[in-house]
Amino acid sequence: MATDTCVFDSSDSVRSAVPLKYAQHVTFKEPLALKEGGSLPSVRVTFETYGTLNAKADNAILVCHALSGDSHVARHVPDDTVGWWEIVVGPGKPIDTDRYFVICPNLLGGCRGTTGPNSLNPETGRPYGPDFPVITVRDMVEVQKLLVEHLGIRRLRAVVGGSLGGQVALTWATQLPEMVAGTVALATSPRLTSQAMAFDVVGRNAILRDPAYQDGQYYGNGPGPTVGLSIARMLGHITYLSREAMIEKFDAHRMQPRQVQTQFETRFSVGSYLAYQGDKFVERFDANSYLALTMAIDLFDLGDTREEIRQSLASSQCRWLLMSFSTDWLFPPFQSEKMVAALIAEQKPISYCSVKSNCGHDAFLLADDLPIYGEMMRAFLANLDRADRAPADDTVEETALDELSCQDPTSIFHSRRLDYDSIIELIPTGASVLDLGCGNGGLLTRLRRHGCRQIIGIELDERAIVACVRRGLDVVQGDLDHGLSAFADGQFDFVVLSQTLQAVMDVPGVLKEILRVGRQGIISFPNIGYWKLRKHLYEEGRAPRAGSLLGYQWYNSPNVRFLSIADFEDFCSDNKIKIHQQVALDTEAGCKVHDDPNLNADMAIVVISR
Amino acid sequence: MATDTCVFDSSDSVRSAVPLKYAQHVTFKEPLALKEGGSLPSVRVTFETYGTLNAKADNAILVCHALSGDSHVARHVPDDTVGWWEIVVGPGKPIDTDRYFVICPNLLGGCRGTTGPNSLNPETGRPYGPDFPVITVRDMVEVQKLLVEHLGIRRLRAVVGGSLGGQVALTWATQLPEMVAGTVALATSPRLTSQAMAFDVVGRNAILRDPAYQDGQYYGNGPGPTVGLSIARMLGHITYLSREAMIEKFDAHRMQPRQVQTQFETRFSVGSYLAYQGDKFVERFDANSYLALTMAIDLFDLGDTREEIRQSLASSQCRWLLMSFSTDWLFPPFQSEKMVAALIAEQKPISYCSVKSNCGHDAFLLADDLPIYGEMMRAFLANLDRADRAPADDTVEETALDELSCQDPTSIFHSRRLDYDSIIELIPTGASVLDLGCGNGGLLTRLRRHGCRQIIGIELDERAIVACVRRGLDVVQGDLDHGLSAFADGQFDFVVLSQTLQAVMDVPGVLKEILRVGRQGIISFPNIGYWKLRKHLYEEGRAPRAGSLLGYQWYNSPNVRFLSIADFEDFCSDNKIKIHQQVALDTEAGCKVHDDPNLNADMAIVVISR
C-alpha cells in the first residue's frame, strides 16, 4: 500500500455513496426495546447475501462491517461495484461463497438502509435526528438476529467481523451462544482504551459543536455539519493507519500535496490526503450515524480485568478465532490477549495470532497481511465444517502439511522428532495437555489421536500457527519468556516443553510457570553430559557440539542454555521440584539408555511436579 | 502522576493566563526579515531571567518553551506563581540558578508578550491576525539572538529545550554555532513524523473552519474560534500522553466523568478531562498563535536521511546532549537516534539516552523521570563548566562514582576489571576508541587519561549513562544486537568489546559491525577451553563454570555463548578475519599465559581486523 498511486486508496472509503443495487430489505414491525432504555417502533434492515444456503441451512456466515461500512461487502457480478471486503469474501476466497451463504447487513444506527438517525421516525413523520435513541452493540445484534431467523437460519456457521464488526461478533457469541458455531473477531477489543475513546470524543465534539449541526435536525436544512464530520473523519483516518504506514505514504513527498478541491488546509501531502478523506466522507455518511455508532463503540464493554472478561465470555459455546495486528494502536494486541486469557481460563476452544503487520488498524481490510489473516480464517472456517463430519484423518493432514514446513526456531532436530514417541508414552489417554513451542502441531496432532481431550499449543511463528489451525488445533501465539499468564493454576494435567528449555533465557521463571499451570511438566532437553560432548571439549578444547544433537555453531545457535541431566537434577533438588520419571535416549542409536544416562544419553525427558 | 487527584494536572496547563509579574520587555525597532519571506517592522520580546550573569558573561543558559509555554519557566520568589519547568529550573535544581544565569523568552509568534499575531501591526494599527507572516523556528532564534546580545552575552553556556523548544535549541546550535557551548534537546526530532504533522493539520483545520474564526480578524469581535481551538487542544493533549498514562489516568473510572462546566461532551472520564483542557486553553491562548506556532513546528525540517541531517548539523560547534522518552509517540526515540547517528558521523561530541518512561511526550515536563533526565542535564551542564577549567581529575571522579555502581548486565567480574590493563597496553596514545557496553565508563576514563582523543561509549543502562555523562564522557544508548548503524565505516582506530561477546546473540553480526566501524577490534572473552572448565565437564558431567570466571549458573547466566580461544581462532580463519595480537590471561593467578593459552588461560584478549 506504499505506492504513490494509492495514496488515497484507504480501503475503508474507496466508494462514494453508490447505490446498493443488490441490496434486499426487510422491515420488522414489532417495537424493539433497547438495552440503554427506550425503543424503536419498527426496524428496517438492509442486507446483501452471497452464495447459497444449503438444505440444512447450516452454512451461513454473518459478516459484520465496521464504523463506516455497509451491506456491500463484495461484488455480486464481475461488473458490480467493489465491496469493502472484496479480498476476503467471494468464490474461492477465505470466506468462500462457493461453500458458504454469506449475509452482510447494514448495522442498526447506520445510514445505508438499515434504521438509523436519518430514517423517518414513524411517530413524528420526520427523521429521528437527535431523537434517535442511544443504541448499543447488543441492540445491533438483536436486529441481526431478527434477520437471521427471517432467513430461516437457526444457527450460524460463523460470525465474522473486525473493529466495530468484531465487537458485534463478540456480542453474538455471548448473547446468542446457541446460534453461533464459530466466532472470528479481528482488530477488536473487550472495550476501547481511553486513548481510542478520546479520539471518538474529540470527533463527536467537532460534530456537535459545528453550528451547522443545528441540534441534529439539519436534514433538509443545508448540508449539515460537514466541517465537524470531516474533522472527525480526518482524525479517524490518522488512527486507522500506523505511524510506519503514514511515513511510507507521505514522508518522501511531505511538502508536495495532491491537488484536491477543498476548503481544508493542503499545504502538506498528509494534509491533502486528510482533506480528501474528510470531504469524501461527508458525501456518503450521516453525522448523526457517526455520533450513534461511535457512542455504541465507546459504550461497548466486556470488562477490563480477566475476571470481568471471563464473566462476559463465559456463556459462549462456539469455537473462537481472534486476531490482532502488531501495529494496530487503536485496538492494540494486548487487548485481544486479555480476551484470549479469559477464554482459556473458561476452557473455550480458542486460537489466536497477533499478525505482524505494517498497516495499523486498517490491516484487516488490506491485502498486505491477507496471506496470514485470510488463511487463518479459511482454515478455521474449514474446521467448523469438519466438526460436523467424521473426525479428521490426521495422517492425510500430516502429509499435506509437509510442504508447509516453517522453520521452528527452537527445534534442534531437522528430521523426525524422536522424543515425541517417549513423551506420548508418558501421557495417559484423556489427559489435558499444553504444548509450549508447539511448532506445526506435530505433537498435538498425535496427542489428539492418542485421545487427549483439552490440548492447546503455544507458538511464536505465524505460519506455524496457520498450520496448527489447519489441523483443527487450538493454538495461541505467545513468547515463553513472557510467561504463561494466560493460564490458570493447575489448568492442565501436563505441560510439555520439548526441546525448548535450552533456548529459554529465564529458565527458573519458565519452569515455575510450567509447574503452576500443569499438574506435571514434561521437559525434554539435550544433555551436555553426553560422553561425546565431554570428550570433545576435553580433548579438542572447543565448544561442545555433535552433529545430530546440536547442529549449530557456538556463534549462531538459538540455544543459549547448556545443561546436563545432572545439572537439571541439581536444579530440581535445589528448588524442591519432584522428579517422577526420567527417560534417557541415545538418539543416534535410536534407543533408550538405562546405564549412567548423564554419560550415555544425548537427550533426556523428565517428568516433574511441585 | 497516576493518582486520582491530579487527573487534570497536566503540567503543560496548570496555570491560566496569570499576569507575568516578573517579566521584562525589550523592543527591537529594526525590521526583521523572515526566512519564508516578508518581514516584521519591529519585534518586542518578553522574557524572564533567573540567577546572576557572571563577570565574564559566560554562565548564561537559554531555556526555550514548547508550543503553549511562556517566559515564566519558574518562580522568582517563594510565593510566585509556579512556572512551567519549576522542577528543572531553580536553586540547586538541574538547571541551577545559583550557578547559571537563566533566560527564558516568550517565542516569536506566541501570545504572551513577544510579538505575535495578537500584537498590533504598526502599519495598520490593528492586530496582525491573519496578516501575521509565516514564521519559522529560524526566525524565533534570530529574535532570541537579538535578546541575548542585548543582555551583553556573546556566547551561551547552553541552550535547553524540549519539543518545539528542542527544535529551537537544535536551530541555535546549527545557525549560530559560535554562540553555543552546549545544546540540550529533549523529546524533539529533526522533523515531525507525518503522523504528528497530521494531528497539527486537523487542529488547524478545526480552527480555520470554525465560523467564529472570521478569517482571523476576530479580535474585538466576540470570543474568537474557541470551539476550534479547544478541539485542537484536546487533540494535542491526547498526543502528549502515552496510551499507558491514559489508561492509568482514566480507565479505572472511565464512566465517571468529573463535574466540569462545559458545552463539550462529558459522558466519559476522559471526555471531561479533554473538555476541561479545551475550555481552559482558550482562556489563555490565542488561536492565531496556535496556527502560527504549529505551522513553524511542521515546517521545521533538518532532513530525513542521515546524510541530510548530517548536513544540517555539520555546522554545530557545541557539546550535545539529546534525550528522548520511550513512550513518546509524538517525537519517538528513533527520530532522536537519527540525529545521534548524524552527529556521530560528523564526529561531534554527543551523549544520548532514550529514557524509559511511562509518560509519553509530556515526560520532559513531569517529575516522574526527572531522576534520569534531570541528572543527565545537570551532569552535562557541569561538564560544560569544566571544559573551561583544568582537565578533570579522573581519580577523584572514580572514587566518587563507586557509589553509583549500577549493575552492568554483561559484566562477568564483580571486582576490578583485570582485562583493562591489557587492553590499554594494546591501544596507542592518541587513538580513537569506541567502547561497546562501556558500563560506568571505567575503561573510557582510563583511555582518556591514556591520551586517547575521540572516545565514545555505547551502553544500555540509563544509570550507567548518567555516570558516564558525570565523568564528562560521550556515551550513546544502544543495544549491540541492533548493530552499530550510527557509526560510519572505519570511524575508529579501535572498537573494544570487553567481556561482552559471550552475551551477544548475533555474534557474526556484531563482529562484522566492529570490523566495519573500527580499523581494529579488541575482543576479550572467557575461554571455555581453560583446563579447569574442561575437567569440570569431563569429570563431573556438569555444565562448565568456575568461580571467578563464570559466576553464574547454567540457568541464570546473561552469557549465552560459550567459546574457547581455539573456537574464536577457527571463526576468524573461516571468516577471513586477521588476528594481529593475542593476550591470554590467568585471572586467578593475575598473570599472562604464554604456554598453550587455550588450555591454561581463562581469558583472552584478541586484536582483530579485516
- CB distance A201–B329 less than 8 Å? no
Look up residue A142 and give its three cell numbers. 438483536
Active site residue: B119, B163, B324, B357, which one? B163
Question: Residue A391's CB: how many other CB atoms inside 10 A?
Answer: 10
The pLDDT of residue A207 is 98
Quote the Cα angle for B603-B607-B608, to 5°: 125
Do the Cβ atoms of B170 and B145 come closer than 8 Å? no
pLDDT for A44 beyond 50: yes
Active site residue: A11, A163, A312, A357, which one? A163
Q: Report yes or no: A249 at the B interface, CB cutoff 8 Å.
A: yes
The burial of B217, by beta-carbon neighbours within 10 Å (0-12 exposed, 13-18 middle, 19 or more buried), is given as middle
Phi first, then psi, for residue A495 (nearest 5°) are -115, 125
Please identify among residues 485-514 of chain A the ones whose CB lies closer than 8 Å to any CB of chain B: 505, 507-508
User: A182 - beta bridge partners?
Assistant: A158, A319
Confidence band for A17, pLDDT divided at 50, 70 and 90: low
Nearest CA to B480 among B463, B495, B464, B494?
Answer: B495
Phi first, then psi, for residue B309 (nearest 5°) are -70, -40
| Separation CA B310–CA A510 (nearest Å) | 46
Would the ipTM clear 0.90, i.e. be above it?
yes
What is the full DSSP assignment across A245-291? HHIIIIITTTT-------SS--SSHHHHHHHHHHHHHHHH--HHHHH
Size of interface A-B (CB pairs under 8 A): 214
Q: Report yes or no: B342 at the A interface, CB cutoff 8 Å.
A: no
Select from B194, B267, B564 the Cβ nearest to the Cβ of A251.
Answer: B194
Distances (CA, A) of B142 to A69, B40, B299: 51, 12, 16
Confidence band for A252, pLDDT divided at 50, 70 and 90: confident
Quote the Cα angle for A467-A473-A475, to 5°: 80
The pLDDT of residue A499 is 87
- For B5-37, b/e burial (b = at least 16 CB within 10 A) is eebeebbbbbeeeeebebbbeeebeeebebeee
The pLDDT of residue B281 is 97
The pLDDT of residue A14 is 35
| Span B566-581, pLDDT tens digits | 999 999 999 999 999 9
Confidence band for A545, pLDDT divided at 50, 70 and 90: low
Nearest CA to A374 among A137, A591, A86?
Answer: A86
Confidence band for B499, pLDDT divided at 50, 70 and 90: confident
Nearest CA to B459 among B516, B414, B498?
Answer: B498
Question: How many residues are recorded in chain A?
Answer: 610
Mean predicted confidence (pLDDT) in B133-146: 98
- For B272-310, b/e burial (b = at least 16 CB within 10 A) is bbbbbbbbbbbeebbbbbbbbbbbbbbbbbbbbebebbb
Start-end of H helices in B268-332: 269-284, 287-299, 306-313
Do the Cβ atoms of A162 and A364 come closer than 8 Å? yes
| Separation CA B38–CA B406 (nearest Å) | 54
List Cβ neighbours of B3 (8 Å cut-off, separation of 6 or more).
none
| Separation CA B195–CA A587 (nearest Å) | 55
Phi first, then psi, for residue A523 (nearest 5°) are -115, 125
Question: Residue A566's CB: how many other CB atoms inside 10 A?
Answer: 18
Q: Report yes or no: B540 at the A interface, CB cutoff 8 Å.
A: yes
B476, containing H or E segment:
strand B474-477
Do the Cβ atoms of B558 and B595 come closer than 8 Å? no
| Separation CA B114–CA B137 (nearest Å) | 14
Average pLDDT score, chain A: 90
Mean predicted confidence (pLDDT) in B192-217: 97
Do the Cβ atoms of B87 and B367 come closer than 8 Å? yes
- Please report residues of B whose CB lies closer than 8 A to that of A250: 194
- Please report residues of A whose CB lies closer than 8 A to that of B554: 507, 561-563, 567
Shortest distance, CA B195 to any CA of chain A (angstroms) = 6
Q: Report yes or no: A441 at the B interface, CB cutoff 8 Å.
A: no
Mean predicted confidence (pLDDT) in B250-261: 92
pLDDT for B400 beyond 90: no
Amino acid at A312: S
Interface residue of B201, B250, B274, B514 to substitute, partner A, most A CBs within 10 Å: B201
| Separation CA A166–CA A411 (nearest Å) | 35
- Local structure of B306: helix, strand or coil: helix
The pLDDT of residue B401 is 43
Look up residue B232 and give its three cell numbers. 485542537
Phi first, then psi, for residue B202 (nearest 5°) are -65, -40
Nearest CA in chain B to A561: B554
Select from B206, B274, B540 the Cβ nearest to the Cβ of A198.
Answer: B274
| Span A113-159, pLDDT tens digits | 999 999 999 989 999 999 999 999 999 999 999 999 999 999 999 99
- CB distance B269–A194 less than 8 Å? yes
Please identify among residues 75-104 of chain A the ones whose CB lies closer than 8 Å to any CB of chain B: none
Do the Cβ atoms of B175 and B199 come closer than 8 Å? no
Do the Cβ atoms of A353 and A374 come closer than 8 Å? no
Chain-centroid distance, C-alpha B515: 28
| Span A436-486, pLDDT tens digits | 999 999 999 999 999 998 899 999 999 999 999 999 999 999 988 888 988
pLDDT for B148 beyond 60: yes
Q: Kindly tell me the sign of the dihedral angle through the C-alpha atoms of B579, B563, B550, B444.
A: positive
Per cent of chain B over pLDDT 90 is 82
Q: Report yes or no: B561 at the A interface, CB cutoff 8 Å.
A: yes
pLDDT for A393 beyond 60: no
| Span A99-118, pLDDT tens digits | 999 999 999 999 999 999 99
Do the Cβ atoms of A568 and A561 come closer than 8 Å? no
| Separation CA A503–CA A480 (nearest Å) | 10
**Maximum pairwise Cα distance, chain A:** 96
The pLDDT of residue A412 is 38
Phi-psi group of A113: left, alpha or beta (phi > 0 → left; psi -120 to 50 → alpha; rest → beta): left
Cα of first residue to Cα of last residue in chain B, in angstroms, is: 52
| Span B337-370, pLDDT tens digits | 999 999 999 999 999 999 999 999 999 999 999 9
Average the pLDDT over each of A232-246, A275-289, B126-140, B405-419 and give the range with the smallest value: B405-419
Q: Report yes or no: A541 at the B interface, CB cutoff 8 Å.
A: yes
Do the Cβ atoms of B427 and B494 come closer than 8 Å? yes
Three-state helix/strand/coil letters over A316-336: CCCEEEEEEECCCCCCCHHHH
- Please report residues of B whose CB lies closer than 8 A to that of A211: 211
Q: Report yes or no: A204 at the B interface, CB cutoff 8 Å.
A: yes
Shortest distance, CA B154 to any CA of chain A (angstroms) = 36
Shortest distance, CA B64 to any CA of chain A (angstroms) = 26
Select from A193, A554, A562 the Cβ nearest to the Cβ of B246.
Answer: A193
Look up residue B289 and give its three cell numbers. 498563535
Shortest distance, CA B506 to any CA of chain A (angstroms) = 7
Confidence band for B310, pLDDT divided at 50, 70 and 90: very high
More confident position, B232 or A406: B232
Chain-centroid distance, C-alpha B503: 27
Look up residue A536 and give its three cell numbers. 570433545
List Cβ neighbours of A180 (8 Å cut-off, separation of 6 or more).
A155, A156, A158, A159, A172, A173, A316, A317, A318
| Separation CA B43–CA B119 (nearest Å) | 10
Active site residue: A237, A361, A432, A524, which one? A361
| Separation CA A404–CA B327 (nearest Å) | 38
Nearest CA to A259 among A247, A271, A245?
Answer: A271
| Separation CA B149–CA A408 (nearest Å) | 66
pLDDT for A350 beyond 60: yes
- CB distance A304–B251 less than 8 Å? yes
Amino acid at B423: I
A25 is catalytic: no
- Local structure of A361: helix, strand or coil: helix
Nearest CA to B410 among B494, B473, B501, B327?
Answer: B501
The pLDDT of residue B547 is 46
Mean predicted confidence (pLDDT) in A578-601: 93
| Separation CA B133–CA B117 (nearest Å) | 9
B361 is catalytic: yes
pLDDT for B409 beyond 60: no
pLDDT for B501 beyond 70: yes
The pLDDT of residue B387 is 54
A328 is catalytic: yes
Three-state helix/strand/coil letters over B548-571: CCCCCCCCCCCCCCCCCHHHHHHH
| Span B330-345, pLDDT tens digits | 999 999 999 999 999 9
Look up residue B504 and give its three cell numbers. 551477544
Amino acid at A49: T
Domains and CATH numbers, chain A: 4-200+297-387 (3.40.50.1820), 201-296 (1.10.1740.110), 394-609 (3.40.50.150)
**Maximum pairwise Cα distance, chain B:** 96
Confidence band for A302, pLDDT divided at 50, 70 and 90: very high
Nearest CA to B446 among B429, B466, B470, B464?
Answer: B429
Mean predicted confidence (pLDDT) in A554-581: 93
Shortest distance, CA B555 to any CA of chain A (angstroms) = 5
The pLDDT of residue A386 is 65
Per cent of chain A over pLDDT 90 is 82
